[in-house]
Amino acid sequence: MSTLTREPGNRSAPPSRPSPARRLRGALDASTPAIGTSALVAVALCLSLAPSLLPRTSAIQGVVCGLAIALALAGREGVRRLRTAHPAPASGEAEVRCLAAAVAAASVVVAGTGAHHWQSALRETMGQATIGLSYWLEVCAAGTVVAAAAIFAGRAIRALVRHRKGRRIVAAVGTALLAAWFGFGSALFFPPAGNADPASASPIPAAPGLAGSEDSLVGWDTLGREGRRFVSIASSGSAVRTYVGLGSAPDVPSRASLAVRESERAGGFDRGHLVLAIPTGSGWVDAQAVEGFERRWGNDVAIVAQQYSDAPSWMTFLTDRDAASDSARALTSAVRAHIDTLPASQRPEVHVYGQSLGASGAAAALTNTEAGSCAAFLAGPPAGVHLPGGTVLANTSDPVVWWEPALLWSPPDLSHARVDAPVPAWLPLVTFVHTTVDLLTSLDTAPGHGHRYGQDQADCSA
């Protein structure tokens, strides 16, 4: 009986198992980011943690950090695609990449520690509670979600634009979103100062010196939300307050003319002081300033305001900044023309007041006015607005005072501002981005900080 024998050369050897060291090295090769990726993400996070003007909520800081991570990764991917059509694997030895990742993580920890102390210092200065570990845990959670969502959205859009139908879908969706925002978004989130407001249900003022009263030339329903609030501010005396809303007259010249006639009817020109209050973009006039003027001069002051927009001040600032200047010039010219017809001994002193975008309008109205003919008081004027001889109240923590395109490449002019909180060092581009973010919360601070001047205006005007 024959037997089968295997030759030694035909035997199959069992596969060798990689050593633990090789398995660890393979895991490091697969999981450790490239040196460039670690560096870009670390730089982006450090810059996103740079000092801000105002205290940041964990949600806002998380969004800033998440977008910074997404932009860093997008930039890294763009560099890879420029170098080769096929992204190359992570470069460098695993140990070197691990070291780079560790250095990057350490730099972020250092930046985070600095941000923690800065945010705590801001909060202590502004009378807010300091932050703790939970704040940074929330920042990490929000940043992770935002970064993941941004990366997913970017990849989805990139996948769609590779196909003709996908490009059409992206274009259609983008157009629809823009149309929805400009058509409905601003009205939904920032309703205009129309009659559909609880203030319109309040009783018509009985005092004859207030706009909207039964004797007034300006209809109560035409004042708009902010106009009704303005005339409804509590007063201890016989206030004379004139407000002309967008619906009170069809255009700027006619509104200015109506403001003069209404002020004359109410006896405004018979008083010793006439304050022209240039509203913000929404038509708002700060009640603290009104109370300050009336406390200083009592029954010898009249206040006149003319609305030029019912959109939020920031929106008007970006889209129709000249509206404030045109309206302020028209009102100032109309008032001065009427005062010039009065006997010299009966002419009131004219004061022009403006806050935020209203300060920009007030400054523009007085640029070509005779020296000494008007006194000016500006609160929180936008960057670049100056009026020699005028009284300026500005906080160094107010992003409105900082923000302008030139902030991208040059530091702000804070010579007219008071130091109310720690002032961050200026960094090209970075400061502009952080200041833009701070604009979102410029009114969420305690009075005397940010874009809230409140009692400071009353003290200054009084």
Q: Give domain status of residue 405, yes or no.
A: yes
pLDDT one-digit tens code per residue, 383-413: 988 887 788 999 999 999 999 999 999 999 9
Total domain count, the chain:
2
Q: According to the model, what pLDDT value does residue 10 have?
A: 54
**pLDDT for the residue 237:** 72
Q: Do 312 and 450 share a domain, yes or no?
A: yes
Residue 314: how many CA atoms within 13 Å on its side-chain side? 16
Q: With CA atoms as reference, report the closest residue to 361 among 336, 342, 379.
A: 379
* Domain end residue (candidates: 127, 162, 189): 189
Tokens of residue 376, six digits: 């000016």
pLDDT at 164: 63
Is residue 1 situated within a structural domain? no
Q: Using one digit for the tens of pLDDT, what is the confidence trace for 234-246? A: 887 788 999 999 9
The 3-state DSSP class for residue 276 equals strand
The domain that holds 294 is classified in CATH as: 3.40.50
The pLDDT value recorded for residue 139 is 96
The 10s digit of each residue's pLDDT in 2-45 is: 555 555 555 555 555 665 555 555 555 555 678 888 889 999 99
Phi, psi at 350, each rounded to 5°: -100, 130
Distance CA 410, CA 413 (A): 9
Answer yes or no: do 250 and 281 share one domain.
Answer: yes
Please choose, from the candidates 237, 63, 55, 249, the residue with its C-alpha nearest in 3D space to the C-alpha of residue 150. Answer: 63
Q: Which sign does the torsion angle of CA 55, 383, 326, 285 carry?
A: positive
pLDDT (tens digit per residue) in 292-319: 899 889 899 999 999 999 887 778 877 8
Residues 314 and 368 in one domain: yes
State pTM to two decimals.
Answer: 0.80
Check whether residue 312 and residue 403 sit in a common domain. yes
207 in a structural domain: yes
pLDDT at 371: 38
Pair 164, 231 in one domain: no
Query: Can you list the residues of the chain whose pLDDT is less than 50?
Result: 1, 90, 185-196, 198-199, 370-372
The CA R_g of the chain, rounded to the nearest whole Å, is: 31
* 131, 156, 189 - which closes a domain: 189
pLDDT value at position 92?
55
According to the model, what pLDDT value does residue 318 have?
A: 77
